[in-house]
Amino acid sequence: MMESQIILASLDWIAQFRVLAVVPPAVLYFLAALLVLWSGHRVGRVVMLLMPVLGMFQLAAMFAIKPNVTLSLLDMSLVVLRVDSLSLLFALLFNIAALIGVIYALHVRDRLQSVSAMCYVGSALGAVFAGDLLTLFIFWELLALSSVGFIWARRRPESMAAGMRYLLVQIVSGLLLLAGALYLYEQTGSLVFNHIGLDGPAGWLILVAFGIKCGFPMFHGWITEAYPAATEAGAVFMAAITTKVAVYALARGFQGEELLVYVGVTMTCFPIFYAVIENDLRRVLAYSMINQLGFMVCGIGVGTTLAVNGAIAHAFNDVIFKGLLFMSMGAVLLQTGRINASELGGLYRTMPKTTVLCIVGAMSISAFPLFSGFVSKAMIVTAVLEEHYEWVWLALLFASAGVFHHAGIKIPYFAFFAHDSGLRPTEPPTNMLIAMTISAVLCIGIGVFPLVLYQMLPFDMVYSPYDATHVLAQLQLLWFSALAFAWLNLRGWYPPEIRSVNLDVDWLFRKLVPGVVSVTMPHLGRIGEHLTFGIGQGLQRMGGFLARGLVVLVGQATSIRLMAMYLVIVLMLYLFLDGLMMLVG
């Protein structure tokens, strides 16, 4: 009774800050980015530390007031701030991730990364509070533009190329989202972002747009290339935000679509094989991210209260434990200059704190009881079995065992134990250890007290992960997985950590397509006239479609407004084609 009175009194006090509650959080973060840009390093660090704290206080004010802010643009009503339990939980998650990421990066004196971090978090918050598809599209593209700075900040030729490919993929995702939004507006006369479904072409376009950002099969190549190419701190921010915004969008727009069950289970399984043979440990974590995203997508596809809550809870936990693993590998990279498993080993001797913190993250992602991964993954697996997806349930069990192999064992074993590499690095800077410790405490705290997280989930439910069946089944799975790893290692059958290049789907875009273009280019002259005529007709039809969509979109807007929006879309198409030509060339 006393606790309830204290909570109500606190909410009444917070509700006085009505002005703060109606300001879109993205605006505050963008203003912080300007301050960081034009201030010194010390002032910038203070601003970056204060922003997530201010952001969480703002969320408390929003929770008390539940504002709804709309703007009029081109005779349309745009919902730039829609507050509900789903958006609030993801916003809280991104603010927590921002605070941990900023602490982790306090030693970094790079204005590009600092400004990118503030703009990136602001764009993510803008996306989760967007109440219409046009506002979502704007922040969807800002996510790409702000996060590419983390890749380019390494200032290496391979990072510059990876950043261009990353930006190209993200822009394509945004263009598909815009096309779907236009199509949906033409059909329904509304841009409101609620459940969309797959009843028409608009839904499919938007689903593919979300799927690209979420790492659906055949669209996942950007994750395994961009994350290892980013800076140590940049990878931590990227692992927390981009794909989780896509999970939020899927939960909002495509909850209960059965197709996602099969897409998700595919995502959980195929990355395991790549992760086991991969040498770059940050790329192993990138494949592991696709695996964990598969659990979330599968839960969203099942669509029951338990399944969707499980997917959202797992997204929350994944940001914490996957961030902890990326931070520990970032510390190894910073201190040794190496990240390949074949070049590491024996680091526990001089980096014992980092070793212990990495093991906490590994146990969490492996879903050990009393760790955060267990209390959310169990919800998804239980929901799948309750809805009689028996084969999917078996595949998720296989995927869970694979997670323990490539993330729970491989990451800490080859980095800190295995053979002695002869490296004797010191512990990373104190701020990095503090950030990793905060994440480790959250991993254990959520695992021990899951009701704290369950009470924040968007749908009411009654569920307890700690019953004898769940605990014993998970312990058996982990035990036999560890036994298999040990046996394969002793027999010499486990894939060795060697220098190699693993061919993935990105090979099709980076090698096959440019190769086909270079081979066919000399022959294009003979059919140039036919192609020109065909392309001209195609562009004429495309232009007519875009024009019709835009006319419907702006209604009775003046010709200046129509021309302005048309030029924006044409400019985006031009940038996309220009980037594609650079890539092919």
- DSSP state at residue 132: B
Of 90, 151, 129, 117, the C-alpha closest to 30 is: 117
- Take residue 362 and report the two structure tokens written for it: 């590994």
Position 579 scores a pLDDT of 46
User: How many C-alpha atoms does 140 have within 13 Å on its Cβ side?
Assistant: 29
Q: Inter-axis angle of helices 372-386 and 305-336, to 10 degrees?
A: 140
Identify the pLDDT of residue 310. 97
Cβ(314)–Cβ(295) below 8 Å: yes
What are the φ and ψ backbone dihedral angles of 22, each rounded to 5 degrees? -95, 0
Q: Is the pTM of this model over 0.75?
A: yes
- Quick one: pLDDT at residue 276? 87
Q: Distance (Å, rounded) from C-alpha 374 to C-alpha 443?
A: 10
| Cα four-point dihedral sign 39, 42, 329, 401 | negative
CA 472 to each of CA 227, 449, 466, 478: distance values in angstroms, whole numbers, following the listed order: 35, 19, 10, 10
pLDDT score recorded for residue 153: 92
DSSP 511: I
CB 405 within 8 A of CB 367: no
**pLDDT mean for each 10 residues of the chain (585 residues):** 57 63 91 92 93 94 85 80 94 97 94 94 96 94 94 90 90 93 88 92 95 93 93 95 96 95 96 90 95 97 96 97 96 94 92 97 95 95 94 94 88 90 92 97 96 94 89 89 80 68 71 67 55 48 48 40 45 48 43
CA distance 377 to 442: 16
Dig out the tokens for 513 from the structure: 């397509």
Residue with tokens 């938007």: 206
Instruction: Give every CB contact of residue 49 below 8 A, 6+ residues apart in sequence.
Output: 99, 102, 103, 106
Q: Which residues have C-beta within 8 Å of that of residue 81, sequence separation ≥ 6?
A: 22, 24, 67, 68, 69, 129, 131
